[in-house]
Structure 1
Amino acid sequence: MPSASSRFNTLTLEGVGRSFGTLNALHGVDLTIRRGEFVALLGPSGCGKSTTLNCIAGLLAISGGRILLDGKRIDTLRPEERGFGMVFQNYALFPHLTVRQNIGFGLKMRGVARAETARRVDEAIRLVRLQGQEAKLPGQLSGGQQQRVAIARAVVIEPPLVLMDEPLSNLDAKLRLEMRAEIRRIHNEFGGTTIYVTHDQDEALSLADRIVVLKDGTIRQVGTPHELYESPADRDVAEFMGFRNQLSGTCLAREGKRARLGAGDAVVEGIARGALAEGAAAVAVFRPDDIAVRTDGAPGLAATVEAIEYRGREYVGTARMADGLSLIFRSEGPVGIGERVGLVPDPARVLIFPAK
């Protein structure tokens, strides 16, 4: 299948906004996506990620700004004139058409010759590894197979861009993992450009070349998976990238990139972020994975274990401090409910931000 990535160099959003009455779902979105990239739009429900995707697709009109493909404005074009491939959350397959017919539907609507349609459908079936399933109806396929049909239908038209709106959310955990690898393989083999909407940070980290984190209709940070995982720009991004524990207090000291936070009798050391000043209100954030659990009375954040779950190779627990704050931790060994523990966050993995 010819490379779709050669069809454009950059897709650019300039100050894109979208309003629904008095609600500004998007405002001032600036983003450039390069040829061949796999870009994930990541954020909680209602953050604007699907709205952004639908504006790019042309399914929603923008309220402000521009969308450009290699400098040419496309936000005035109808969806079919943009020629992008779309994979929906619910697959949107025709139940009365076979796999082959579903995949070839877009080519038929474009008036592609029968022989060329057959060749491209065969190649798309090979790409998504559905050989032998061509004559089946969607109802005879598993969820993962239906998703493959939806992807094949999107790429068979050889679009310059494939847009995917939470395509794995209806699959079980095992299938999600399998299809995650398949989607990245298909992207690499097809050689196109993909924009992928998800609320799952693991999906975004494993799939994307770059991640765009949105909240409240604005872009909070854009970067590689490594950049976002290791260096979130603010507390909101940090929370979405797995920094589930947040401890509020006062910045006791800042020396270059290091800082200390005091919260009652507890002191936490970490990496200073932003305009953090001594004596100012601050918040330390850290992941459950980055906490050592001490049961020998050693210093740490004193807490009482309230819940513990066995997860195979580890335990995941919740412990409550005297001030009522709950912290989530991971432990290699079992810890008893009601047990007093000292939780010691790794200073090299703690981030300390100014309070909002």
Structure 2
Amino acid sequence: MTISAKNFRELRLDHMRRDFGGMNALRDITLTIKRGEFIALLGPSGCGKSTALNCLAGLLPLSGGSIWLDDQRIDDLKPEERGFGMVFQNYALFPHMSLRKNIGFGLKMQKRPQNVIDARVEEALALVRLTKQADKLPGQISGGQQQRVAIARAIVVEPPLVLMDEPLSNLDAKLRLEMRAEIRRIHNMIGCSTIYVTHDQDEALSLADRIVVLRDGQMRQVGTPHELYARPAHADVAEFMGYRNLLKAEAETEQNGRLTMRLGAARLDGFAIEPGHGREVIAALRPEDLTPVNDGPIKAAVVSAEYRGRDFYGLARTEDGLDLWFRSDLSVKPGERLCLGAPAERVLVYAGAAA
């Protein structure tokens, strides 16, 4: 017997909406998720990602729209009738039950025969590499092991969909890296779809097949990790994907998408991502792409810098009072004057003015 996901073709969210009083927590969420896909819902706190997950799980009713699993509408089903697996941020294990009994709890509630429960639980324990710990209580194992128990409990019922709500947020940095690999390995082995809520762009980039960026309850962009990392569609998406410098600039000339801008006293070249109206634009740069160069167009003084092992990351300020985050291969000190520049292809230009 091998644990695998129940057969289905796709999950469809059709104009899904959730209101809390007069507040729109989710607005017009429309998305199709194929079997086997790993989808990350990414965004800052309050953007609606956990609300979306709770609506999918059936823990919150929709205010509008619908949810479909193939040809069956499921948003009117109770959580237990949907058959999804859920992995919570706080593990939600029964402290008085052994790991074996925690993992088999869902199968027991489904009134499966004991021999089926035993076989499935042993398989799930092996899948998450906890066979030798099976008779321990949750309080006797580490946080990372507890999270693996929670994952085993979610997948042992062979769900078509596994929902994960920031499952790594309570772990230390080393365990988070280890668990990322474990989660992706298990996802690939059982062939289910996974929807994973996170505010951590590194987690989303490393785990997901596609990332859905949410802001104020709306989908701002859906794409592969490479698409979102290299070409965010909007300035607010760029900011969340690590383009820490969002700078007001004035467009001067444009040719074949390449734009020359005035940024304070400096001129900078970049590439237009979003069609603009008028001369006011936003230049978006990652700190790692803005570096000291001999002929750099932006003159600034170092405010602070920190050593990151191989290089230095710092904050510099121009005479116009513009703050810039940058990277340097060489040690820099507060007060030191630099000429900063970035390759034109790494400077993304968006319409409008920075907030």
The verdict on a shared fold, with TM-score over 0.5 as the criterion, is yes
Secondary structure of 2:330's counterpart equals coil
Q: Which residue of 1 aligns with 2:328?
A: 331
Per-residue deviation, residues 110-146 of structure 1 (Å, max 9, x unmatched)? 1011111000000000111112100111111101000
324, 337, 349: which one aligns with 1:340 = 337
| Aligned-partner Cα distance in 2 for 1:15–1:137 | 43
Give, in angstroms, the shift of residue 55 of structure 1: 0.4
Secondary structure of 2:150's counterpart equals helix
Is contact 1:261–1:352 with CA below 8 Å preserved after alignment?
A: no
| Aligned-partner Cα distance in 2 for 1:198–1:189 | 22
Per-residue deviation, residues 22-54 of structure 1 (Å, max 9, x unmatched)? 111001111110111000000000001111111
Which amino acid in structure 2 is aligned with residue 290 of structure 1? Answer: D
Give, in angstroms, the shift of residue 16 of structure 1: 0.7
Query: Are 1:233 and 2:233 counterparts?
Result: yes
Query: Are 1:310 and 2:307 counterparts?
Result: yes
Q: Which residue of 2 aligns with 1:175?
A: 175
Secondary structure of 2:131's counterpart equals coil
| Aligned-partner Cα distance in 2 for 1:254–1:234 | 19
Give, in angstroms, the shift of residue 273 of structure 1: 1.7
Secondary structure of 1:32's counterpart equals strand
Q: Which residue of 2 aligns with 1:59?
A: 59
Is contact 1:83–1:160 with CA below 8 Å preserved after alignment?
A: yes
Q: Which residue of 1 aligns with 2:38?
A: 38
Query: Are 1:117 and 2:114 counterparts?
Result: no
Total equivalences in the alignment: 352
Unmatched tracts of structure 1, length 5 or more: none
Q: Which residue of 2 aligns with 1:3?
A: 4
Per-residue deviation, residues 42-89 of structure 1 (Å, max 9, x unmatched)? 000000111111101101101000111103210000000000000000
Give, in angstroms, the shift of residue 292 of structure 1: 2.1
Is contact 2:282–2:351 with CA below 8 Å preserved after alignment?
A: yes
Is contact 2:10–2:69 with CA below 8 Å preserved after alignment?
A: yes
| Percent identical | 61
Secondary structure of 2:246's counterpart equals strand
Which amino acid in structure 2 is aligned with residue 83 of structure 1? Answer: G
Moved more, 247-256 or 30-39: 247-256
Is contact 2:3–2:124 with CA below 8 Å preserved after alignment?
A: no
Which amino acid in structure 2 is aligned with residue 349 of structure 1? Answer: R
Give, in angstroms, the shift of residue 303 of structure 1: 1.1
Which amino acid in structure 1 is aligned with residue 27 of structure 2? Answer: H
| Aligned-partner Cα distance in 2 for 1:246–1:221 | 18
Is contact 1:271–1:352 with CA below 8 Å preserved after alignment?
A: yes
Q: Which residue of 1 aligns with 2:292?
A: 293
| Aligned-partner Cα distance in 1 for 2:27–2:11 | 18
Is contact 2:106–2:153 with CA below 8 Å preserved after alignment?
A: yes
| Aligned-partner Cα distance in 1 for 2:194–2:11 | 11
Q: Which residue of 2 aligns with 1:25?
A: 25
Give, in angstroms, the shift of residue 307 of structure 1: 0.8
Which amino acid in structure 2 is aligned with residue 3 of structure 1? Answer: S
| Aligned-partner Cα distance in 2 for 1:264–1:331 | 22
Q: Which residue of 1 aligns with 2:141?
A: 141
Q: Which residue of 2 aligns with 1:350?
A: 347
Unmatched tracts of structure 2, length 5 or more: none
Superposed, 1:203-282 pairs within 5 Å as: 203-277=203-277, 280-282=279-281
Query: Are 1:69 and 2:66 counterparts?
Result: no
Is contact 1:292–1:346 with CA below 8 Å preserved after alignment?
A: no
| Aligned-partner Cα distance in 1 for 2:96–2:322 | 55
Secondary structure of 1:132's counterpart equals helix
Give, in angstroms, the shift of residue 336 of structure 1: 1.2
Is contact 2:251–2:260 with CA below 8 Å preserved after alignment?
A: yes
Secondary structure of 1:348's counterpart equals helix
Q: Which residue of 2 aligns with 1:319?
A: 316
| Aligned-partner Cα distance in 2 for 1:325–1:58 | 47
Give, in angstroms, the shift of residue 319 of structure 1: 0.7
| Aligned-partner Cα distance in 1 for 2:117–2:22 | 46
| Aligned-partner Cα distance in 2 for 1:123–1:71 | 31
Secondary structure of 2:93's counterpart equals coil
Secondary structure of 1:7's counterpart equals coil
Q: RMSD of the alignment, in Å? A: 1.1
Is contact 2:284–2:349 with CA below 8 Å preserved after alignment?
A: yes
Which amino acid in structure 1 is aligned with residue 7 of structure 2? Answer: R
Per-residue deviation, residues 216-265 of structure 1 (Å, max 9, x unmatched)? 00000101101111111100111111111111121111112211111221
Secondary structure of 2:126's counterpart equals helix
User: TM-score, length-normalised on structure 1?
Assistant: 0.97
| Aligned-partner Cα distance in 1 for 2:321–2:167 | 39
Is contact 1:26–1:217 with CA below 8 Å preserved after alignment?
A: yes
| Aligned-partner Cα distance in 2 for 1:183–1:124 | 13
